[in-house]
Every structure is written in C-alpha cells, then in structure tokens.
Structure 1
Amino acid sequence: MQQRKLGADGPMVSAVGYGAMSFADFYGPATEEGSMAILDACVELGVTHVDTANVYGNGRSETWLGKWLKARGGRPPFAIATKVGIQRDPERRFNNDPDHMREQLDGSLQRLGVEAIDLYYVHRRDTAHEIEDVTETLASFVKAGKVKAIGYSEIAPSSLRRAAAIHPIAAVQSEYSLATRAPELGLVQACQELGAALVAFSPVGRGLLTDRPHSLEACRTMGFMKNNPRFVEPNHSANLAYNAKFRALAADMGVAAASLAIAWLLKQGEHVLPIPGTRSVKHLKECVAGAEMDLTDGDMARIESVLPVGWCHGDRYNAEQWEAPERYC
C-alpha cells in the first residue's frame, strides 16, 4: 500500500482509507460482525486511515470501532478521524456551538476508547458561527491534547483559506470522484496550496463507478438514495448507461471498475486520499487494489473519453440534502 501524508504535518497513512459510515444503515443494514470483519480486512490490506463521525448510526460507528480497538489491544493500527457539527436530538440541525462541540468530543473519545483523536472535522458548518470562531474552538482542542489535527467537511476554497489563517487545517473532506468533479473548481488546488489533504468520500460514486451498481429497486429501499437526483428515473438509467462504458473499459484493462475509479482519483494529486465505504470485504479489496495501479497519460485519456466532465445525470444532492454543504464558487 502506497503512503500519503494526512496534512502538511500529519502522519503518513495508506493512500486508500476506509469510510465507516457503512457501519450505520445508510446504504442498507450493517451488522457488528460484518463491521469487525471489515476492520480485520483493513489491517490485512494495509489500510491505516479510518474515518467515522459521531452521528453515524447515532454513535454506533464510533462504538463498534472502539470495541474492535479494545479487543485488539495495543497501539491502534489506524489514524482515526471523526466529526462533529450535526445534531439529531430532538431534530436534525447543524451546531458549531463551542459547548456542544466540547461535549461531543468527549463523547467520541469515550466511544472510541482513545486519549486523542488524530483528525477532528467539523462535519457541517453552522452559519450562526463564523468559521474563524469555529476554528478557534477546534484549535483549543488541539491545545488541550484531545485532538492532534483539525479539518472541515464540505467547505468551499474561500472558507478553507479563512480557517487556515487561524490554524493549520490538516484536511478537507469532500465528495470527489469521476461522477463528482466540482472540487476541481478550486478545492483541489487550495488544499494543495495550503498543505491540506483532500479526503475524498464516495470515491466510487455511491456505487455508480463499480461493476455492481445499485438497481433502481435497491435505491428505493435506501433512505438517502431513494430521493437523490442521480438515483431516480430518468437519471438512474442514463447513469447506468454511462457506467456500462466505464465497466467495459475497466474489463479491457483487466481490473475492477472500482479499482480504476480509485486509481483515477489517486492520480489527481499526492494530497488526494480516497475513503471508500463498504460492507463487503470483496469490494474493499477492489478499492484498495486501485492503489497498486499506476495509470499512464493514455489511460487517463481513455477514462476521460468514456466519462467526460459533466457526464453524470442529476445533482449530487436534492434541495434538502444541499442544506449545508458549500457549493464551489
């Protein structure tokens, strides 16, 4: 497994990490046994970066990760990232209040069973608090020794620069894949300029960039997917038609489609770190195999020819899902 830095002064971690949102029921039922098997596979495959959040499964993702770490004993084999900023009690809202963030940090530390979190993100910005003030709160966690580095999820380049003027930002997490190219409008460049990692979630396009994309019937059973513009008709059928071209190209190259999608992302810059999430060890292995590929300029041109910029039908979020993430402008 090739290694990349998690921020300018951060640790070296595997180029491909793991997104533990899959320990919640976001894309279908998750089991504790299956989640433990995924973590075992991460160790075997050399994955050393695991990403979670306090709201994934209402704390279940952190709890299961903490239980696995305790059972394994010794020094954690992962750089662990988690997040704060989304509150679901009594209703879903965004909360960057310092007291809330401090309370939630202590809860995450307890569930994970660690003394300090390697990377702590603000999951979503609460516009009632200026980003400079939120960054000061995060910096206080670093000073207290509870957090080693800080980051933001789904922010624009302009916000990143404002935050970085207060304290070094180790990483920005954003959706980035062959199906979602918006980060190339400034975020990829700003992260590189400021020494921040760009941690790419949904790097295989929520299944679109795999050999086994979700059927329309399956999408209708998933809370997020059933109302997402890319996974309803007529967009779903149009996207699967494009996926067929990509799957054919991957087959011609002798690799899984997911491997090729990950390899393309890794080629976008040494600071880009994909974190695929899955409940399948087989799929995890396909994603990790992308780190073993070294695509040529010719390979990249072939990929772009079957999946040109803007090929994906439908926005990546519907109006409600777009409530917090900052568009790239």
Structure 2
Amino acid sequence: MKYRTLGQGLEVSAIGLGCMPMIRDGNINYGGPADPGEAIRTIHEAIDLGVTFLDTAEIYGPFQNEELVGEAIRGRRDRLVIATKFGFRFDGGQITGVDSSPANIARAVDGSLKRLGIDTIDLYYQHRVDPAVPIEEVMGALADLVRAGKIRHVGLSEAGPATLRRAAAVHPVTALQSEYSLWERDVENDILATCAELGIGFVPYSPLGRGFLTGQIRSRADLPAGDWRHNDPRYSDENLPANLRIVDAIGAVAERVGASLAQVALAWLIAQGEHIVPIPGVKRRETMRDSVAAADLVLSSADLADLSAAVPPGAAAGPRYGERGLRMVRL
C-alpha cells in the first residue's frame, strides 16, 4: 500500500475504506442489506493489505455503522486513522435536521467514541454545514475537543471556499470531504485550489459515482428494491442512458491498461493531486480488493488526458442530489 499525507501531517493509506454500505438494516441501502460478518472480514482484510483509513458517521444506520466499525477494529486499533462525522439532530433513530450547536457536538462525540470503542477519534468531520451556527463557533467547540483529547484532527464536509477560510482562521482544518469523481468535477472550479492554498487534504466520497462508474449498472433494473440510488437523479430513466457514455469512456481506458473500470476511475482521482485520498464504499472483500489495488495503478499522461477530455466537468446528466440534498452542499 502507498500512503499520503492530508493536512496537519496526518498520514493515511492512499485508498481509504468508505464503510457506509456496511449496513444490514437502516437508512442507507446500496445493493441490498450488508452481511455484518462479511463486512467485518472486509475491514480485517483491508487492514492486512495496508489500509489505515476507515470512514464512518453517526448518521449511517443511524449509529449501527459506527458500532460495526468498532467491533471490526477491536484489537487492531494501532496505526489506524478512524474518521467519523457529526452534525445532525435525532429523535430516536430518525434524523430531524442539521445541528452543529456545541451542545449537540458534545453529545455526538461521546456517542461516537462509545460506539467505536476508542479513546480518541482521529479525524472528526462536520457532516454538513449548519447555516444556523457560525462556523467559528463550530470550530471553537472542535478545538476544545482537540484540547480535551477526544479528537485529534478536524474536518469539514461539503463546505464552500468561504466557509473553509473562516474555519481555518479559527483552527487548522485537516481534510475536506466532498463528492468528487469523473462524473462530478465541480470541486475543480475553486474548492480544490482553496484546499491546496490552506494546506487542507481532500477526501472524495462517492469516487465511483455511487457504483455507477464500475460499469456494473446498465439500467435501473440492476438496482434492487429499496436501493437508495432509486432516488438519485443521475440514475433516473431520463438521465441514465446519457450517463452510460461516461462509463463507456472509462471502459475504453480500462481495456487498454488491463484494469477494472473502478481501478481506472480511482487512479484518475489519485492522479489529480498528492493530497487527494478517495474512500470508495465497500461491503464485500471482492470489491475491496479491486478498489485497493487502484493505489498501484499509474495511468499515463495520455490515459489521463483521454479521460478528462471524454468526461469534462459537467458531462453527467442530471444533478448529483435531489433538491433537498443540493441545499446542503457547497455552503
């Protein structure tokens, strides 16, 4: 495994593990319920392969994903970088809105520490910017958690450039996690440059377009009932056929270099900057092995140019979220 450094000297594996799909029953379903035993075996093998960066959040499940990760890392904590997220309000198991008040941050961090079974969270992200709470107040509360030893590093998710600058003026930001892939390149407009300027690492989530860029989904019929992607505008009957052209462009390069489509899509991301560390979502060992191998795939300048030309910014048909989701990003 190769390793990279995010902001503030935080070293992680060049490919992280997005643990969100490892949910048996809950609020986010990709490809059917996960088998908890297989999910834990997937994490164990990933660690054996050199993966050190594991990503979860209290909202996944909610709560159960952190519990599963905690079970998987028991006795294997050394060298791991455990990332989780806060920023939502709950009524029982139901999410009722965003909430980054200091009181809710205090509640969330203690709950995550308990579920994960660890003394310190390595990277703690604000999951979504809360318009009702100034980012300076949020960062102040997080700085207090750093001083208390409950977290090591602070991250943000889906924050815009102005928010990043205001946040970094209060306390160093180690990483920004936002969507980035060959079919979602909007962060190239200004966010990546802002991160580079401020020394903030960038962690792309959904680096495989929620599975679309693997080439395994050619129609909505390939999605099981209850799959979250039925709500994704880019998977709609109207947009999916046009988006298959993106998959075909990746497939042409994959055939040329003798790699899977997922490996090519991830290798393209890794090539966009030394501070970029994608976290493909997995729940099975087979998928994990394929994704992790992308860390060793080096695309030529011609391959990278062909991909960027074939899939320019804005190439995907349809927005990446519905109206409600779009109101919560780039804030």
* TM-score, L = length of structure 2: 0.93
Please state if 1:277 is matched with 2:281: yes
Say whether the 8 Å CA contact 2:121–2:151 is kept in structure 1.
yes
Distance 2:301 2:158 in 1: 29
Please state if 1:22 is matched with 2:21: yes
Give 1:78-227 correspondences, 5 Å limit: 78-89=80-91, 91-213=95-217, 215-219=219-223, 221-227=225-231
> What do you get for the CA RMSD once the two structures are aligned?
1.6
Following superposition, the deviation at residue 14 of structure 1 comes to 0.5
Match of 1:309 in 2: 313
In the alignment, structure 1 segments of 5+ residues that lack a partner are none
Give 1:250-329 correspondences, 5 Å limit: 250-326=254-330
Distance 2:144 2:272 in 1: 33
How many pairs are equivalent? 324
Query: 1:92 aligns to what SS in structure 2?
Result: strand
After the TM superposition, which of the residue ranges 169-178 and 16-25 deviates more from structure 2?
16-25
Please state if 1:238 is matched with 2:242: yes
Say whether the 8 Å CA contact 1:207–1:214 is kept in structure 2.
no
The letter for the 2-side match of 1:205 is G
The letter for the 2-side match of 1:9 is G
Say whether the 8 Å CA contact 2:125–2:156 is kept in structure 1.
yes
Following superposition, the deviation at residue 316 of structure 1 comes to 0.4
Query: 1:35 aligns to what SS in structure 2?
Result: helix
Say whether the 8 Å CA contact 1:154–1:173 is kept in structure 2.
yes
Following superposition, the deviation at residue 220 of structure 1 comes to 6.5
Say whether the 8 Å CA contact 1:23–1:56 is kept in structure 2.
no
Say whether the 8 Å CA contact 1:6–1:13 is kept in structure 2.
yes
For the structure 1 residues 47 and 203, does the alpha-carbon distance in structure 2 shift closer, same or farther, using more than 3 Å as the test? same
Query: 1:272 aligns to what SS in structure 2?
Result: coil
In the alignment, structure 2 segments of 5+ residues that lack a partner are none
Say whether the 8 Å CA contact 1:69–1:76 is kept in structure 2.
no
Give 1:71-82 correspondences, 5 Å limit: 73=75, 75-82=77-84
Deviations 1:177-200 (A, max 9, x none): 001001101111111111111000
Say whether the 8 Å CA contact 2:183–2:246 is kept in structure 1.
no
Say whether the 8 Å CA contact 1:173–1:200 is kept in structure 2.
yes
Following superposition, the deviation at residue 158 of structure 1 comes to 1.2
Following superposition, the deviation at residue 165 of structure 1 comes to 0.3
Please state if 1:34 is matched with 2:38: yes
Please state if 1:2 is matched with 2:15: no
Deviations 1:49-99 (A, max 9, x none): 0000011111111101111222xx254342000000022325420001111
Following superposition, the deviation at residue 297 of structure 1 comes to 1.5
Following superposition, the deviation at residue 223 of structure 1 comes to 4.9
Following superposition, the deviation at residue 222 of structure 1 comes to 3.9
Distance 1:200 1:130 in 2: 25
After the TM superposition, which of the residue ranges 13-22 and 244-253 deviates more from structure 2?
244-253
Distance 2:123 2:130 in 1: 19
Query: 1:206 aligns to what SS in structure 2?
Result: coil
Following superposition, the deviation at residue 215 of structure 1 comes to 3.2
Say whether the 8 Å CA contact 2:250–2:265 is kept in structure 1.
no
Query: 1:274 aligns to what SS in structure 2?
Result: coil
The letter for the 2-side match of 1:79 is V
Say whether the 8 Å CA contact 2:158–2:176 is kept in structure 1.
yes
Say whether the 8 Å CA contact 2:39–2:284 is kept in structure 1.
no
Distance 2:35 2:201 in 1: 31
Say whether the 8 Å CA contact 1:138–1:150 is kept in structure 2.
yes
1:44 aligned to which of 19, 40, 48: 48
Say whether the 8 Å CA contact 1:228–1:317 is kept in structure 2.
yes
Distance 2:308 2:130 in 1: 36
